Amino acid sequence: MQYIQVTVEAAAEELDTLMWTLSLHGIEELIIFDPQDVRNMVGCTAPGPDTYDDDLLEQLDSSPSVTFFLLDDPQGRAVLDGVRMAVNHLAEVSAHRSLTLSTISVAEQDWAESWKRHFHPFDLGERLTICPPWEAAEPALGRVLLMIDPGAAFGTGLHATTQLCLLALERLHTVGARVLDMGCGSGILGIAASLLGAAQVTAVDVDPVALRITEENIALNNLHGRSMQLLCGDVLSDSSLAERVGPGYTLAFANIVSDVILAMRHFLFNCLAASGVLVVSGILDERAEEVLGALIATGFLLREKRSMDGWTALVVSRP
C-alpha cells in the first residue's frame, strides 16, 4: 500500500493556524516537528558521539513542520488538492509567508518506521522517564517509567505542548483522581496520570487510530488492570458521547489547539467536579490571553500559566 507523505514547513507561530486548517480538511493524525524539541531532548540527556546520529543533530537547523499521510488513491489525492489550496491561501492573504508544502510517495512500512531513530529515552521533570518500546531505560530512583509508542498519533512527550501538560501533572494531586484526557492522541497524558496514581481515566479522541494506539500503549505500561475508558467521537456534535463522558472529574486535560479549546470550554467546565482542575495546552503564546479570558468568562479560575518554546499551558480550576 502506497501513501503520500505531506510536509508543510512553517514558522513556529504559524503552527496553530496550520493545524486548525488541516483539521477542517479532516486531518487529525499529525507529526509535529520543531527543532526546539531536539534541543529539549539533547538537554534532557547527556549527548555524545555514540548517542545521536548526524541526521538528528542536523535537524537543529531545520524549520518547524507538520507532516501527515494520505492514502495514494483518488480520495487521498483529492484531500491533498484541498489542503494545497488552503495552504496557498494562507500564504497569500495573511502573514503566513513561510508556509511551504512538499510531498513524497512512501510505502506503509517506511513511514511507520523511519522516524523511530529520532526518539530516545529522556527524563522529564522530577518524576517521569519517557521511553519508546524499541529502547531500554533504567529510571533513576523515584522516577516512573512511561513507555510510549505514538505510531501515527500525536504524543511522544518531546513537544513543548505535551511537556507542559506532563510537568503540570506531576505538580498536581493525582492519587485517587478521576481524570479526563480530551484529544488523547497517543494516550500519553492519561497513561502518565494512571502511572502516578489516578484511580480512573477516560480518554477521548475523534480519531479511531488514536484510540487503537492508546490501547497499545496501555498494554505497554501494563495498565490493563486499571480503570481506563476509551471513547471515540466528537463530544460537541454527539450528545450521546458527551453523556458517556459525563461529569465529576477531578482533573482534565485538553492538549489540542486554541480554537478547539475555545469551542469546548463550556463542555470542559461541566465535566469537572467542584474544585476540579483543567490543564489546557497547544496554545501559542500570542493567543494565551484570548484563551484565558474566555476560560475566565466561562467561570474558571486561573491557577497557573506557563510557557515553553512559544507555547502556553494554562492550569485553571472550577470553583
Task: Return the CATH number at 70.
Answer: 3.30.70.260
- Same structural domain for residues 111 and 175? no
- Same structural domain for residues 47 and 169? no
Phi-psi region of 151 (alpha: psi -120 to 50; beta: other; left: phi over 0): left
Per-residue pLDDT of the chain (319 residues; tens, 9 = 90+): 678 888 888 877 777 778 778 877 777 667 777 776 656 655 544 444 444 445 555 555 567 888 888 888 888 888 889 889 888 888 776 665 668 888 888 775 665 565 566 577 888 899 999 988 888 888 888 899 999 887 655 666 777 888 999 999 999 999 999 999 999 988 999 999 999 999 999 999 988 878 988 999 999 999 987 789 999 999 999 999 999 999 999 999 999 888 899 999 999 999 999 999 999 998 988 899 999 999 999 999 999 999 987 889 999 999 9
∠ at Cα 32 (263, 192), nearest 5°? 75
Q: DSSP state, 226? A: S
- Same structural domain for residues 38 and 186? no
Q: What predicted TM-score, i.e. pTM, was given to this entire model?
A: 0.73
Question: How many independent structural domains does the chain possess?
Answer: 2
CB neighbour list of residue 117: distance below 8 Å, 6 or more residues apart: 53, 55, 56
- Same structural domain for residues 274 and 187? yes
- Same structural domain for residues 166 and 241? yes
CA separation for the pair 153, 132 (Å, rounded): 14
- Same structural domain for residues 177 and 308? yes
CB-facing half-sphere around the CA of 192: CA atoms within 13 A: 32
CA separation for the pair 287, 13 (Å, rounded): 10
Residue 40 belongs to some domain of the structure: yes
Burial (CB < 10 A; 0-12, 13-18, 19+), residue 225, is exposed
CA separation for the pair 234, 232 (Å, rounded): 7
* Domain carrying residue 284: 156-317
Q: Which residues pair with 71 in a beta bridge?
A: 3
Residue 128 belongs to some domain of the structure: no
- Same structural domain for residues 29 and 166? no
C-alpha cell at 6: 505531506
- Same structural domain for residues 83 and 168? no
Residue 311 belongs to some domain of the structure: yes
